[in-house]
Structure 1
């Protein structure tokens, strides 16, 4: 079998993410009623509390924390933190709905070569960050192998200042 450098493990897709929760029921409510996920059957052989949900082509496995008091809930919305991102059709509608639901969010705009991407960031009940964006506005352009090795933000800014990504944060 020929070695495939671009896909050495021959992966086909992202299957699920797992999140440890202080309350599986509260998280089910959030992922179902805010993000539109649907609870699905979970194997009975799993002998710990949790739930499986599916939506938007991905599974979310919620795992009940064995010690909920030790989970440190993040309160500051930091777009540079770990997050999962979902594509949307209308950023205006997402802003309106999140505001109606009483969910705090931060808006950010990225500009690259005259193309704009809007992003909204907010937290789930345990402080895990969610991003909603129109990221498909920016085309995916594979980098040459040499560029991948030198692709730190510092190197890009020093080598090609005209291609810097401009960020601005607009808060509600």
Structure 2
């Protein structure tokens, strides 16, 4: 067997967005993320530092899946899981912003919501 490449972690997740200002209002205004430096690239975008060398990259590019149907519960869709220190506080922020979410079907301390472009985000309680 060939030598293992030893995958060491997830460095960033990239999500496609159609309206950068609308996405920014969600990620910064609702979730409380702060943008970090981004290199000059041939398309608009915003990067967020999630700590531990991990980032979330928003890219305003055409979405080939924009018209695809999504399941009602985000946990049954492709998604990015993020650690959250206080799920109850996050749920209150989502409620205040009128953003629908569902809780984990497995009973774990987790909830799922969609950003303005229907990208699914999972939040797992992580202290």
The reply to whether TM is greater than 0.5 is yes
Asked if 1:31 corresponds to 2:22, the answer is no
Shift of 1:43: 1.4
TM-score, normalised on structure 1?
A: 0.60
Shift of 1:131: 1.2
- Correspondences of 1:3-152 after superposition (within 5 Å): 3=3, 8-44=4-40, 46-57=41-52, 58-66=54-62, 71-72=66-67, 74=70, 76-111=72-107, 117-134=108-125
For these two proteins, the number of residue pairs brought into alignment is 124
Distance 1:69 1:24 in 2: 17
Give SS of 1:130's match: strand
Distance 1:91 1:34 in 2: 13
1:91-110 Cα distance to aligned partner (Å, 9 max, x none): 32222221112111112352
1:148-172 Cα distance to aligned partner (Å, 9 max, x none): xxxxxxxxxxxxxxxxxxxxxxxxx
TM-score, normalised on structure 2?
A: 0.77
- Residue pair 1:22, 1:71 contacting (<8 A) in 2 also: no
- Residue pair 1:77, 1:123 contacting (<8 A) in 2 also: no
Shift of 1:69: 9.5
What are structure 1's unaligned runs of at least 5 residues? 112-116, 137-172
What are structure 2's unaligned runs of at least 5 residues? none
Q: Which has the higher contact order (CA 8 A, sep 6+)?
A: 2
Give SS of 1:79's match: helix
Greater helix content: 1
Shift of 1:21: 1.0
Which of 1 and 2 has greater Rg? 1
- Residue pair 2:85, 2:126 contacting (<8 A) in 1 also: no
- Residue pair 1:89, 1:134 contacting (<8 A) in 2 also: yes
